[in-house]
């Protein structure tokens, strides 16, 4: 597997043709770096493009005045998971409209023009599908697209990049039912390869370098036919479920609520029950 | 960045010289795949070896009779984080002796001989240091070592590989204090590159393929001097903190306890307080 940043993507603005910018960057890179590759592009069959959500959001016009950053977070919040005060503010970890559990609902104030914040794409899987379809049509190559964002996680320090949108890529490599080298069934094993791809891409894109797109080569086994642009695939029964399948529904989540929040909720319920029991017991003692 | 599985690692048994097995596999691969590379090895300065914890555990004799799998999990548990019943058992997510929060404490029953389970290395950072020191001494190359394991996580489906041990590699790429392309400070950004490396390696090792070691090339910027084997580095002030720095202390963790467990704890406390208040209030009403 090789992973490399695609250089030459310019600053992206609302309404830009992102597929065109990526395809052109791949063509320029071709001339500069890999002259002689067929089709005039650095890209090849089976390549996966990991695209930072930030440039997708910018192309889709998701920039908003920063004056309402807190309001923007509130607007993007479907469910509050946990909050913690810090000097000068409150960290809010919430489930957002995209179904992602993230600090600040994924509302971003880094690498944006002064005075603006950036919201996530409205539907990252739809954004990935549009991008993948356009790139496949333009290059004639079977490509995959993963849209990435940076997220913290419980139990471990630091952040990793994860797949928030995907098209033409199997992001969950479901091994359940297959066997290990000893013939034992791998019953609970389903590597979240979409997140591992996003993380690998982050290692070459880098937070500060400003390269928002990386190419992952060598994982063609994960690249799916895309019925919309692949007539042969239309009847194949392959269903591209996007990155949404990586979202665990909150009702199945053992960590759907922060520990302090869950304890406070329990305390309130317990207090009400205890109070009622205390009053009843005291009354029962009355003559 | 390129990432490839190192082929030719045999089944590992207790007492095996893991550094030797890896070095020999790299030499064999050299002959078969990349004849002509200097020093008779496929490895190069700045390479990071991602080693599946399973073979480290096997070399360290951490195999245990499976009859006490549940007891083994209990023995490895420092703190129960969450439990959930399923038909035929209980999933236990716990903090283990290594400080990792993992299902079943990281006790593994896949890819082990029938009737046995495998415990994690006692001290994965120490294992990584020993391996890195031996590999650097043997090859004369500045290498890094990451010991990986597979872990589930809250909020998202599937598992990813994470770094449970490391030596000679900066696993947390702390950008706090640096600035983005707009000159704004990246205050909370610290990519957990160790985990991203482990995930990238998993993409080429594969769960079922039986290749337990991958080489990551192109991240030499993250490879640290190792004072133990690098006299020049001994006075450099570089401190290799291993993968332990990726462990978030539970007191700082907003998800230190499962939602149901935290709610039950709160309920009990609330009930006791409510009961006392109810009895007191009833008494106060008495003439």
Contact A200 B3 (CB under 8 A): yes
C-alpha distance from A156 to closest chain B C-alpha (Å): 5
In this structure, what are the phi and psi dihedrals at residue B72, rounded to the nearest 5 degrees? -60, -40
Q: How far is B38 from chain A (nearest CA, A)?
A: 22
pLDDT at position B171 over 70: yes
Model pLDDT, residue A33: 52
CB distance B50 to A200 below 8 Å: no
Pairing type for strands B116-118 and B156-167 reads unpaired
Q: Do A154 and B248 touch (CB under 8 A)?
A: yes
Residue of A nearest to B198 (CA): A196
Task: Identify whether the C-beta of residue B258 lies closer than 8 Å to the C-beta of residue A254.
Answer: yes
* Residue of A180, A196, A280 lying closest to B199 (CB–CB): A196
Question: Among the listed ranges A202-206, B104-108, B177-181, which one has the minimum average pLDDT value?
Answer: B177-181
Best A96, A260, A271 member to test B by mutation, with max B CBs in 10 Å, is A271
Chain B residue nearest residue A209, CA to CA: B181
Closest chain B C-alpha to A220 CA, distance in angstroms: 12
Quick: pLDDT tens for A11-67: 999 999 999 999 999 986 655 555 554 447 889 999 999 999 999 999 999 999 877
Contacts of B114 in chain A (CB under 8 A): 182, 184
Please state the rounded mean pLDDT for residues B115-131: 95
**Which position has the higher pLDDT, B79 or B27?**
B79
B258 neighbourhood in chain A, CB within 8 Å: 254-255, 259
Please tell me the predicted confidence (pLDDT) of residue B38.
Answer: 46
Question: Which residues lie closer than 8 Å to A239 by C-beta, 6 or more apart?
Answer: none
> What are the phi and psi torsion angles at A251 (to 5°)?
-65, -20
Which residue of chain A is at minimal alpha-carbon distance from B180? A208
Alpha carbon B187 to its chain's center: 26
Q: Residue B240 has what pLDDT?
A: 84
Q: What letters, b where the CB count within 10 A reaches 16 and e where it falls short, cover A84-98?
A: eeeeeeeebbbbbeb
Distances (CA, A) of B254 to B132, B246, B263: 34, 16, 14
pLDDT, one tens digit per residue, over A92-110 is 999 999 999 999 999 988 7
Strand partners, A213: A51
Q: For A111, which of B159, B182, B272 is closest by C-beta distance? A: B182
pLDDT at A207 > cutoff 80: no
Confidence bin at B58 (pLDDT 50/70/90): very high
Q: Give the highest mean pLDDT range of A28-32, A233-237, B173-177, B235-239.
A: B173-177
Q: Choose among B253, B273, B276: nearest Cβ to A155.
A: B253
SS (H, E, C) chain B: CEEEECCCCCCCCCCCCHHHHHHHHHHHHHHHHCCCCHHHCCCCCCCEEEEEHHHHHHHCCCEEEHHHHHHHHHHHEEEEEEEEEECCEEEEEEEECCCCEEEHHHCECCCCCCCEEECCCCCHHHHHHHHHHHHHHHHCCCCEEEEEEEEEECCEEEEEEEEEEEECECCCCCCCCCECCCCCECCCCCECHHHHHHHHHHHHHCCCCCCCEEEEECCHHHECCCCCCCHHHHCCCCCCCCHHHHECCHHHCCCCCCHHHHHHHHHHHHHHHHHHHHHHHHHHHCC
Please tell me if residue B110 touches chain A, with a CB cutoff of 8 Å. Answer: yes
Residue B26 has pLDDT above 50, yes or no: yes
Q: What pLDDT sits at residue A38?
A: 46
Say if the Cβ atoms of A279 and B283 lie within 8 Å.
no
* CATH fold label, A1-56+120-253: 60s Ribosomal Protein L30; Chain: A; (3.30.1330)
Residue B157: list chain A partners with CB under 8 A.
172, 190, 192, 245-248
pLDDT tens string B199-226: 999 999 976 567 999 999 999 999 998 7
Confidence of residue A235 (pLDDT cuts 50, 70, 90): low
120-159 of A, contacting B, C-beta below 8 A:
150, 153-159
Backbone angles phi, psi at A146, to 5 degrees: -120, 130
Q: How far is B80 from chain A (nearest CA, A)?
A: 13
Total residue length of chain A: 287
Sheet containing strand A77-86, strands side by side: A77-86, A89-96, A101-103
User: What is chain A written as a DSSP string?
Assistant: -EEEE---PPPP-TT--HHHHHHHHHHHHHHHH-TT-GGGSS--TT-EEEEEHHHHHHHTT-EEEGGGHHHHHHHHEEEEEEEEEETTEEEEEEEETTS-EEEGGG-B-SSS-TTEEEPPPSSHHHHHHHHHHHHHHHH-S--EEEEEEEEEETTEEEEEEEEEEEESB--S---TT-B-TTS-B-TT--B-HHHHHHHHHHHHH-TTT---EEEEES-GGGBPP-TTT-HHHHTS------GGGGBPPGGG-TTSS-HHHHHHHHHHHHHHHHHHHHHHHHHHH--
Q: What is the CATH number of domain B63-119?
A: 3.90.1660.10
Q: What is the mean pLDDT of residues B59-66?
A: 91
Q: Find the range with the poorest average confidence among A28-37, A138-147, A224-233, B84-93.
A: A28-37
Which residues, at least 6 apart from A65, have a Cβ–Cβ distance to it below 8 Å? Answer: A115, A116, A117
Chain B, 169-188: which have a CB under 8 Å from a chain A CB?
Answer: 172-173, 175, 178-182, 184, 186
Residue A126 has pLDDT above 70, yes or no: yes
- Backbone φ and ψ of A66, nearest 5°: -75, -15
Contacts of A269 in chain B (CB under 8 A): 263, 266-267, 270
Q: What is the pLDDT of residue B166?
A: 97
- Considering the entire predicted model, what is its pTM? 0.91
Chain A residues in contact with B279 (beta carbon < 8 A): 278-279, 281-282
Residues B38, B31 contacting (CB under 8 angstroms) = no
Contact B196 A199 (CB under 8 A): yes
**A 21-80 residues with CB below 8 A of B?**
none
The 3 state secondary structure assigned to A165-206 is EEECECCCCCCCCCECCCCCECCCCCECHHHHHHHHHHHHHC
């Amino acid at each position: 597997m090789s992973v490399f940043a695609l250089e030459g993507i310019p600053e992206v603005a609302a309404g830009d043709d992102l597929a065109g910018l990526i395809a052109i960057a791949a063509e320029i890179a071709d001339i500069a770096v890999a002259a002689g590759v067929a089709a005039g592009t650095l890209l090849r069959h089976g390549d996966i493009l990991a695209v930072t959500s930030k440039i997708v959001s910018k192309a889709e016009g998701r920039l908003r005045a920063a004056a309402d950053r807190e309001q923007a977070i509130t607007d993007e919040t479907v469910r509050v998971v946990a909050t913690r005060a810090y000097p000068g503010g409150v960290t809010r970890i919430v489930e957002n409209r995209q179904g992602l559990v993230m600090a600040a609902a994924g509302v971003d104030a880094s690498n944006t023009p002064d005075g603006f914040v950036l919201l996530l794409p409205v539907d990252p899987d739809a954004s990935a599908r549009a991008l993948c379809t356009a790139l496949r049509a333009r290059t004639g190559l079977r490509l995959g697209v993963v849209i990435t964002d940076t997220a913290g996680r419980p139990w471990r320090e630091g952040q990793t990049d994860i797949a928030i949108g995907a098209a033409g890529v199997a992001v969950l490599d479901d091994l359940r039912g297959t066997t290990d080298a000893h013939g034992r069934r791998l019953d609970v094993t389903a590597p979240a390869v979409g997140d591992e791809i996003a993380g690998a891409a982050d290692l070459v894109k880098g937070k500060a370098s400003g390269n928002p797109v990386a190419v992952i080569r060598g994982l063609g086994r994960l690249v799916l036919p895309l019925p919309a642009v692949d007539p042969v695939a239309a009847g194949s029964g392959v269903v591209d479920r996007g990155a949404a399948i990586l979202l665990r529904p909150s009702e199945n989540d053992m960590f759907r609520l922060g520990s302090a929040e869950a304890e406070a909720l329990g305390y309130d319920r317990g207090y009400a029950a205890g109070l009622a029991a205390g009053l009843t017991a005291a009354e029962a003692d009355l003559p």
